[in-house]
Amino acid sequence: MELPADFRMTPAPLPGRILFAHDWRDLAFLHWRIPPSAAAPFMPPGTRPDTFGGDTFVGLVPFELRSANFLGGPIVPYLGDFLETNVRLYSVDAQGRHGVVFRSLEASHLAVVLAARASVGLPYTWSRQTCEVSGSTRTWTTTRRWPRRGLRTSVTVEVGDRITAPDPLTVFLTARWGMHAYRFGRTVWVPNHHEPWQFHRAHVVRLRDQLVRAAGLPVAGAPDVETLFAPGVHTVFGEPQPL
């Protein structure tokens, strides 16, 4: 299968000023195929589910966010470093911008959750999270504190060989240069820019997840797309643009 004709392999230059920047470190990408009709109710106005081979996808992505700063200022101590786990869908708008739509974003700092909800309108949630590393094995655990207290997820992956030539589906799921969000009564596109991913194959050793189904997505069992691991990238975000 081939990528959509308008799919960008590299990001466009960011318009306007850089709003914030940070590092994404040690990410796992777990994915399930779902019918577009299952994702459509969660798409902001002006967007639709992005598809590959007739399917769309839901992703579960645990990682560490490091060295956050805002408006080019200094790195924010303490609040600029935290673990995150997000549940995301894949979107495209009438201008051909292929992005993500977040259903939930677990973060371990309440102040970050409240600020992100108020300023960007993203569905951040407050959670207790840990990450353990043992050789090539990584385990992320998440326990929701607010809202819907008690939701739990545990992901253990074994990191394998480097992927030198990502296949089209891997590119489709990870070359996403922005997000669509519904903010203050309108849909916006928030562009981002980062260097190319360096992927490794990963094997799911153990998965106990409540977040994806709690987000309203109909999945069961192990991911049905190859799991990926990436050491990380430095990421910058531009100003929101209304659709």
User: What CATH number did the domain enclosing 89 receive?
Assistant: 2.40.400.10
Domains in the chain, number: 1
Checking if the pLDDT of 231 tops 70, the result is yes
Going by C-alpha positions, the residue among 132, 105, 104 that lies closest to residue 206 is: 132
Checking if the pLDDT of 233 tops 60, the result is yes
Q: Across all residues in the chain, what is the average pLDDT?
A: 93
On whether residue 12 sits in a domain, the answer given is: no
Checking if the pLDDT of 119 tops 90, the result is no
> Which of 73-82, 187-196, 207-216 is the least confident region?
73-82
Sign of the four-CA dihedral 205, 106, 175, 32: positive
On whether residue 88 sits in a domain, the answer given is: yes
On whether residue 210 sits in a domain, the answer given is: yes
Checking if the pLDDT of 7 tops 80, the result is yes
At residue 67, the pLDDT reads 81
Checking if the pLDDT of 4 tops 70, the result is yes
Going by C-alpha positions, the residue among 203, 198, 187, 202 that lies closest to residue 233 is: 198
Confidence of residue 212 (pLDDT cuts 50, 70, 90): very high
Task: Identify the domain containing residue 221 by its residue range.
Answer: 18-242
On whether residue 13 sits in a domain, the answer given is: no
On whether residue 5 sits in a domain, the answer given is: no
On whether residue 120 sits in a domain, the answer given is: yes
Confidence of residue 100 (pLDDT cuts 50, 70, 90): very high
On whether residue 8 sits in a domain, the answer given is: no
At residue 77, the pLDDT reads 58
At residue 120, the pLDDT reads 77
* 198 DSSP assignment: -
* 45 DSSP assignment: T
Could you tell me the CA-to-CA distances from 162 to 76, 166, 195, 217 in Å, in that order? 32, 10, 17, 30
Confirm if 232 and 196 have CB atoms less than 8 A apart: no
On whether residue 162 sits in a domain, the answer given is: yes
